[in-house]
A and B are shown apart, each in its own frame.
Chain A
Amino acid sequence: MKLAYWMYAGPAHIGTLRVSSSFKNVHAIMHAPIGDDYFNVMRSMLERDRNFTPVTISSVDRNVLARGSQEKVVDNITRKDAEEHPDLIVLTPTCTSSILQEDLENFVERASIETKSDVMLADVNHYRVNELQAADITLRQIVQLYIEKARKKGDLPEGKTEKPSVNILGISSLGFHNHHDCTELKRLMVDLGIQVNEVIPEGASVHNLKNLPKAWFNLVPYREIGPMAARYLEQEFGMPYVDITPMGVVETARCIRKIQEIINAQGADVDYTDYINEQTLHVSQAAWFSRSIDCQNLTGKKAVVFGDSTHAAAITKILSREMGIHVVWAGTYCKYDAEWFKEQVGEYCDEVIVTEDHGQIGDAIARVEPSAIFGTQMERHVGKRLNIPCGVIAAPIHVQNFPIGYKPFCGYEGTNQITDLIYNSFTLGMEDHLLEIFGGHDTKEVITKGISAGSDLGWNKEAQAELNKVPGFVRGKVKRNTEKFARDRGFNVITLEVMYAAKEAVGA
């Protein structure tokens, strides 16, 4: 047992539902107690979906506990088949069904005798994998199902498309800015003269999955969802894949060069060098921004980064490599992917943190006092308490992270969006200086914002008045540093003298 207040990645079934409901006309039936269909609320509220979420529960109640599900699951599958005529029904196990150990595979077989739709059991174990891993597994499973089906029927298309083409794997429902990224990636492919063969799972029809092998290669923009399907297609058809996330100027260029290499190896003759140059120097504003005076003011400022592997790694590299910002630590909650993450960001930050414990992250933020945080909604709230600005770069996210406006993170427009996000998160350069010179524009009273420890020290009147003159956005930091200094040296009351001594000693 572990005491938990908050989690970064959801339970396995959420991953399965994200993938299945991203497909068109695929219905998921959860083997779960009443109340476990919270996914529908998230789809309907966070994504503001206009359609009914194609997920229903085959409810586990007392009768099921006593006698097993018996006909119930099969009836629910055949009923949904008749009502909605989906192409595929995905029976989704939950934590409850994991321990009931009913033979769900058997239900699937029995039901599929009567249904027009295909029926599949999602092969995920609640206690072994999380949301992201489950999504990856489910996507591979569905791809495999339809490739094998086509093979059996002998209608697997032969050969490749005439012109270079790509499948984009891993765009999914409730993914962080996934829809915008998808549009941006398609545009990028158009620019590169590459046809988009299929995008899965978002908006795809399972009938088209048999066409996947016709593409020249696969593009997997995210670490979390898609790699397994890509590896499966590589195994079966020798399809190469590109798994460099095109996020940030340097990585986008790297991704494009890799694409060039792959399609040239298959007989295309392309050179994207000029395109990359043109985009980098003149279309995307990010490279120019790095050179501008604004960005100069960010030099050496401290930041911390936390999120899923894809986004945390990409943002760390952008901050450090492209903007000269000092990333004190970078972290991810994708523990299962820790090795990759460490390898990616090792040289771009002082320390790597891999944890699922938000408390540890909160303390690590309080400890280093960065000028800005790039994290999930949880880090945003830590930032609020510590009075440190935060840019949200990864799930878990709230409704405000499903913007209606066009805000990709990938590709060249993505670099512009990320630049804005980063720049706006730091206190603006000149404003920063002016505040320091003129002593700030607010004189609000200090509220103790420590997370790790409350304040046990008294400030005398003069010192308090002096503290109030410190600009708001660094006041918490000055206060904590001074108190730490005082505590270390055994002062009980903080006077002006102590304050100055602290400033001289630790630069508080």
Chain B
Amino acid sequence: MTLANTEPQALTYECETGNYHTFCPISCVAWLYQKIEDSFFLVIGTKTCGYFLQNAMGVMIFAEPRYAMAELEEGDISAQLNDYEELKRLCLQIKRDRNPSVIVWIGTCTTEIIKMDLEGLAPKLEAEIGIPIVTARANGLDYAFTQGEDTVLAAMAARCPDQAPVVETEKKERNAIASLLNFGKKKEDVTADEAEYVKHPPLVLFGSLPDPVVTNLTLELKKQGIKVSGWLPSKRYTELPVLEEGYYVSGVNPFLSRTATTLMRRRKCKLIGAPFPIGPDGTRAWIEKICSVFGIEPQGLDEREAQIWANLEDYLQLIRGKSVFFMGDNLLEISLARFLIRCGMTCPEIGIPYMDKRYQAAELALLEKTCHEMGVPTPKIIEKPDNYNQIQRIKQQNIDLVITGMAHANPLEARGINTKWSVEFTFAQIHGFTNARDILELVTRPLRRNNNLKDLGWDKLVREEAKI
């Protein structure tokens, strides 16, 4: 790094070989089946897919999950068996045993290669067995890890009702969040609640988040008088939000570009492109952008953000001035890097599987602005990184913290390099003002642990400097 260069630089983008480690996108079933309570996910693939899910999901597999493999056998591959009949048999079994409100078919690499026409089969079978079948092609040929959720939500977007139900005398809340927030209130209170909102066009948020985070972000917008009319996905498939032409939508996660595209093109919604509500800076920017679209003057955000930052001070002291390196595997990297730079870290490289510069435009702009304001060099953004090359760079640059997948974490630790498993960021609650502390809890954990052990002299635990 050249210190002399203090000119604000623009972000630079590179693309490497794509030889990197990440989770297969079918892993999205693990969190989506828990989110959508009346769903059943059927992954149509091979033993390889099954083995991955079984091992990656660990203990969840024993909790009678609402997902299963339709394991393809040699007869399926060579088309000796009839796909339609086979799927019908399995789906009827699922209907009998679990009676879900929707069956989501996850297409895999194998169904792509043998060109199994899942999108064509689904409507026929749906009509025959009377359960909606949503098809998502979440395969490793095209996508990485969290992009699996994107393919599922894009498919779900087509299933959202296109008309608000006729207003009955007793106005019933359609969506889960609203009823959750109104839980236990009398009808007149609910009506009174309506008055707390500014009049604005309906807003639907998309991205699967744990329910407490949904409540939290919804309340955060409510403070600004913004009403969230629905979430994609909702707690139940039967409660998918209404999407009429002209509705506004906004994404809460950086990997939802297909869903965003689908909502704009197919459902004629207007996308509010904002930074993502990760970190107090991101959350504030997200709220401000939504407010600005609706012509609302945001209230009290300055104090709110300042308060959050003040509460983080103990963690900030641990990471200020340290460097962080994202190897890249879950597409949260840009937002996390932007937050950590604001926390006072430097970041030479952000690896990322796929970079949608349009969908992430506002986030990228905020990253650039943050770098300039903090007076640090802008990171190199490496799309489709090459893990081997990255490890060489990590060693050259003497990185303080590497955020990486589990395949590299232990080997790096054994070489005295601090690591944090990236997967934890996908499963932890990291959105909104309230959860900023959780992000730093994760980020600082290796540093705190290694601080505790630092006097033992056990930094490098590989015998020779092994070739890597």
Contacts and interface: CB of A to CB of B under 8 A. Distances in A.
Interface in A17-65: 32-38, 40-42, 44-45, 48-53, 56-57, 59-62, 65
A126 interface: yes
Nearest to A399: B58
A381 interface: yes
B239 interface: no
A33 B139 contact: yes
Interface residues of A, number: 53
A94 interface: yes
Nearest to B410: A44
B19 A57 contact: yes
Interface string B52-70: 1011101001100100111
Contacts of B123: none
A38 B56 contact: yes
A450 to B, nearest CB: 13
A37 B61 contact: no
A1 B86 contact: yes
Contacts of B339: none
Interface string A69-104: 000000010000001110000000011100110000
A127 B73 contact: yes
A390 to B, nearest CB: 12
A34 B101 CA distance: 32
Most buried by B among A1, A2, A4, A59: A1
A128 B142 CA distance: 27
B468 interface: yes
A35 B25 contact: yes
B68 to A, nearest CB: 5
B374 interface: no
B13 interface: no
A52 B408 contact: yes
A59 B19 contact: yes
A2 B73 contact: yes
Interface in A297-352: none
Nearest to A385: B62
B74 interface: yes
B373 to A, nearest CB: 36
B143 to A, nearest CB: 8
B76 A1 contact: yes
A2 B23 CA distance: 24
A35 B23 contact: yes
A398 interface: yes
Nearest to A398: B58
Contacts of A44: 406-411
Interface stretch (B109-117, B310-318, B442-450): B109-117
Contacts of A3: 68-71, 90, 93-94
Contacts of A49: 410-411
Nearest to A72: B17
Given A4-B69, A5-B68, A42-B55, A52 B411 contact: yes
B20 A34 contact: yes
B91 to A, nearest CB: 10
A491 interface: no
A84 B139 contact: no
Contacts of B414: 50-51
Interface string A1-20: 11111110011011000000
Given A7-B50, A45-B406, A51-B411, A37 B73 contact: no
Interface in B410-455: 410-411, 414
A4 B50 contact: yes
Nearest to B93: A3
A38 B142 contact: no
Contacts of A398: 58
A33 B141 contact: yes
How large, as a class, is the contact surface on chain B? 35 or more
Given A44-B411, A65-B141, A99-B113, A11 B406 contact: no
Interface in A414-432: none
B81 interface: yes
Contacts of B44: 1
Contact of A38 (B51, B76, B93): B51
A36 B48 contact: yes
Interface string B103-125: 00000011011100000000000
A70 B139 CA distance: 22
A7 B68 contact: no
Contacts of B69: 3-5
B129 interface: no
Contacts of B50: 4, 6-7
B427 to A, nearest CB: 15
Most buried by A among B62, B69, B468: B62
Interface in A113-157: 126-128, 130
A53 B407 contact: yes
A188 B256 CA distance: 59
A50 B411 CA distance: 5
A4 B68 contact: yes
Given A51-B466, A60-B141, A61-B141, A94 B48 contact: yes
A1 B73 contact: yes
Contacts of A99: 77, 110, 113-114
Contacts of B141: 33-34, 60-62, 65
B71 A1 contact: yes
B396 to A, nearest CB: 16
B72 interface: yes
Nearest to A95: B46
Contacts of A45: 406, 410
A34 B144 contact: yes
B458 interface: no
Contacts of A41: 21, 55-56, 405-407
A229 B24 CA distance: 34
Contacts of A60: 109, 141
Contacts of A4: 50, 68-69, 71
Contacts of A53: 407, 411
Nearest to A128: B74
A1 B70 contact: yes
A10 B47 contact: yes
B87 interface: yes
Given A34-B144, A56-B19, A7 B408 contact: no
12 contacts: A4-B68, A33-B109, A34-B20, A35-B25, A35-B52, A36-B48, A38-B23, A38-B55, A44-B407, A44-B409, A50-B410, A96-B109
Interface of B: 18-25, 44, 46-48, 50-52, 54-56, 58, 61-62, 65, 68-74, 76-77, 81, 86-87, 89-90, 93-94, 109-110, 112-114, 139-142, 144-145, 353, 388, 391, 405-411, 414, 461-462, 466-468
10 tightest Cβ-Cβ pairs between the two chains A and B = A35-B24, A33-B140, A40-B407, A50-B414, A35-B140, A381-B62, A1-B86, A95-B46, A11-B47, A127-B74
Given A33-B140, A35-B24, 17 more contacts: A5-B68, A7-B51, A7-B54, A34-B141, A35-B22, A35-B145, A38-B51, A41-B21, A41-B405, A44-B409, A49-B411, A50-B461, A50-B462, A51-B411, A99-B114, A100-B113, A378-B62
Interface of A: 1-7, 10-11, 13-14, 32-38, 40-42, 44-45, 48-53, 56-57, 59-62, 65, 76, 83-85, 94-96, 99-100, 126-128, 130, 378, 381, 396, 398
